[in-house]
Structure 1
Amino acid sequence: MRDLRNGPARLLVVDDNKVNRLLLTRSLELQGHSVASAENGRVALEMLQREGFDLVLLDMEMPEMDGFQVLERLVHDRKLRDLPVIVTSSLEGVSNVVRCIELGAEDYLTKPVNPVLLKARIGASLEKKRLRDQQTELVRRFATPEVAQDLQDSGFSLGGKLVHASVMFSDIRGFTSLAESQPPEETIELLNTYYALMFNAISGHGGVVTLMMGDGLMSVFGAPVPLSDHGESAVRAAQEMVELIDLFNLEREAEKKPPIKIGIGIASGEMVAGYTGTNQRATYTCIGDTVNLAARLETHTKVAQRAILIDQATRAALSEHVEVEPLGQVPFKGKAAPVDVFSVGLEQKL
């Protein structure tokens, strides 16, 4: 995201009239902007796909691809649909103006364009883009890229939809005792390192972290973005998480700090995924029996003395290359019948 408060904005002038292009480009460069130009809509779209621009000044009547066609392509392009476009055209009539605005144009100026008015409209459009980019960056900072993209694509609304996915719960064993034995600053540093390692493993296998609570993490594989092999992806992520903690413990040992261990529970099946809370404060999460089972499995890792536990549905989704040990049936609170539990070994390196 370009910071429009520092340095020139990058503008694209699209006009089939060479004289108009040159004059408008010169005028905009004198205002301090960096300007490129295209002689028709087709060339403009190719440039927009290759380069980053902050605003487009678009003529309507052009050969090969006119301005209306360009706007239609932009509005359906996820990457370019929020790019501000100011139409500069000799076409008159309210119907043309309305059509351009409906197709996403920021503004419509009739040729010959008043330079003072154009400067003001460009400034206003760039400021709105800056604020929109700033808002997007804030969303991406406090939400995962997948959730941020879901918000951008579908908009925000409380509620959820039924999905088939895998849920993972994980936490640090004995974290409370560890936190009490060291300064708070050291605990925060440990958590930040732990989060960085776990997020890398989870996101690297298509997972989305939906909840952080102290040392505990909840992740989902298969929502909001569908994932065909969500069960195996979750297990592969869990194996990598354990391996990363083992490597991290080598550093802690060198610093004469106690090692840490994690427990991970994974369950697969149907659940409801969506936004819960209020219109002022909400979070993306998953609920349902599958989610509850994953939490129970994570808690049971302490009893089973295993790092990774999974249910039968996850076990059924795994390839033969994943080492699995059946631990028998375990009765869990809230479950009418005992659950088949399996332990997963670490990934074998070739």
Structure 2
Amino acid sequence: MAKDSSRVLIADDNKVNRLLLSRSVELLGYGVSLAENGRIALERLRTKPFDLLLLDIEMPELDGFAVLEQIKADPQLREMPVIVTSSVEGLDNVVRCINLGAEDYLHKPVNQVLLKARIGASLEKKHLRDQQKAMMRRFVTSEVADDILQSGFALDGKRIHASVLFSDIRGFTAMLESQGPEETIDLLNTYYMLMFDAIGSHGGVVNQMIGDGLMALFGAPLPLDDCAVSAVAAALEMVELIEQFNHERKAVDKVAIRIGVGVATGDVVAGYIGTQQRAMYTCIGDTVNLAARLEAHTKVAGCGILIDDATQRALDGSVPVQSLGEVSFKGKAAAIGIFSVMAGQPN
């Protein structure tokens, strides 16, 4: 039989049973590891990748029921398929195992034909789930994917404290007219690669990309301590990376690019919007609107990075800033104190 890359862990305190099951599974083409009790099985699951667990019930130190309970409670393990192989009789025990998340319950001595079918079906379902996760992460951020996989998907929202960052390339429309489409796409791909790295390295999540502009969240969908500090640190690194990128562009006689960044901090309403067929994770509220206004105002102020007063207060003097006074923005009833982040001034 052809070798399969799937790894099966067998947990059974009876050495003969372990060896017999191991031989049967290996003959099916799968890799096998052994554990003589539930505690060791959990240690193996948490330190090495496995695709399936064959689990006995009556074991010392930690029985099969306790193993199932811990697997179900562990976000990293709860999707692990488990087939119980046990001599314990009684429908109540079977039901208990299924309720705790077991895929199936096979009585000992295990029928080899049935074992082959159950292992094949369980691994096929796991492989399909793994493909679904991989596909999801291609189209949404890993943080959003983890949020959906752990908490489930629902068209709802919640109010959270976060920092919102907007950025775009200055004079991008004029650049479009002076270069070909291939060069434009290559520039955008490089730009986004650099911006994603800067934002992600400080705990941010890129939420939207619109042409040459992007929106990033710090503190959603996962909480983030000192979200304002992280957002400003990301903005500073974004500007620094663009400056380094410009050295490369100048070396091949390409025009330098500049970006403007706006950061605002406060309460936002975050969640999934759309329909059950098509939805996206986003944030809405005054903080989001203000961050967008700040980014647009960098053109007027001639600054690389502008932040609001809430973000400035959260920095607590850790980053040099210059007050630009109060500015009245569209949609805001009162003028807002704004600050230029000094290290973010363009060359």
**Deviation string, structure 1 residues 197-244 (Cα, Å, up to 9, x no partner):** 101111111111111111111011111111120111100000000000
1:27 lines up with 2:24 in the alignment: yes
Partner of 2:138: 141
Partner of 2:203: 206
**Deviation string, structure 1 residues 123-154 (Cα, Å, up to 9, x no partner):** 11111000000001111121112111111121
Letter paired with 2:253: K
Give how far 1:94 is off.
1.6
Structure-to-structure mapping, 1:322-337, within 5 angstroms: 322-337=319-334
2:73 and 2:343 map into 1 onto residues whose CA distance is 44
Partner of 2:230: 233
Letter paired with 1:339: I
**Deviation string, structure 1 residues 301-332 (Cα, Å, up to 9, x no partner):** 01101010000000000032301000111111
Report if the CA contact (8 A) 1:163-1:272 is conserved: yes
Give how far 1:180 is off.
2.2
SS in 2 for 1:132: helix
2:341 and 2:4 map into 1 onto residues whose CA distance is 53
Letter paired with 2:271: G
SS in 1 for 2:264: strand
Structure-to-structure mapping, 1:1-350, within 5 angstroms: 7-346=4-343
Fraction of identical pairs, as percent: 67
TM-score normalised per structure 2: 0.97
Letter paired with 2:11: V
1:142 and 1:28 map into 2 onto residues whose CA distance is 36
> CA separation of 1:6/1:29 partners in 2, compared to 1, >3 Å: closer, same or farther?
closer
SS in 2 for 1:317: helix
SS in 2 for 1:276: strand
Give how far 1:195 is off.
0.8
Give how far 1:7 is off.
3.8
TM-score normalised per structure 1: 0.96
1:219 and 1:7 map into 2 onto residues whose CA distance is 41
Report if the CA contact (8 A) 1:271-1:289 is conserved: yes
1:270 and 1:285 map into 2 onto residues whose CA distance is 13
1:321 and 1:286 map into 2 onto residues whose CA distance is 27
- Equivalenced residues, count: 344
SS in 1 for 2:163: strand
1:337 and 1:8 map into 2 onto residues whose CA distance is 63
> CA separation of 1:242/1:181 partners in 2, compared to 1, >3 Å: closer, same or farther?
same
Report if the CA contact (8 A) 1:311-1:341 is conserved: yes
Report if the CA contact (8 A) 1:323-1:347 is conserved: no
Report if the CA contact (8 A) 1:276-1:283 is conserved: yes
2:3 and 2:88 map into 1 onto residues whose CA distance is 35
Letter paired with 1:164: H
> CA separation of 1:153/1:216 partners in 2, compared to 1, >3 Å: closer, same or farther?
same
Give how far 1:339 is off.
1.2
Give how far 1:159 is off.
1.5
SS in 1 for 2:260: strand
Give how far 1:6 is off.
8.2
2:5 and 2:183 map into 1 onto residues whose CA distance is 43
Letter paired with 2:139: F
Moved over 4 A (4+): none
Give how far 1:182 is off.
1.1
Structure 1 gaps, min length 5: none
Give how far 1:8 is off.
2.5
Give how far 1:291 is off.
0.5
**Deviation string, structure 1 residues 271-318 (Cα, Å, up to 9, x no partner):** 101111111111111000111000000000011010100000000000
Aligned Cα RMSD in Å?
Answer: 1.4
1:206 and 1:178 map into 2 onto residues whose CA distance is 31
Letter paired with 1:32: G
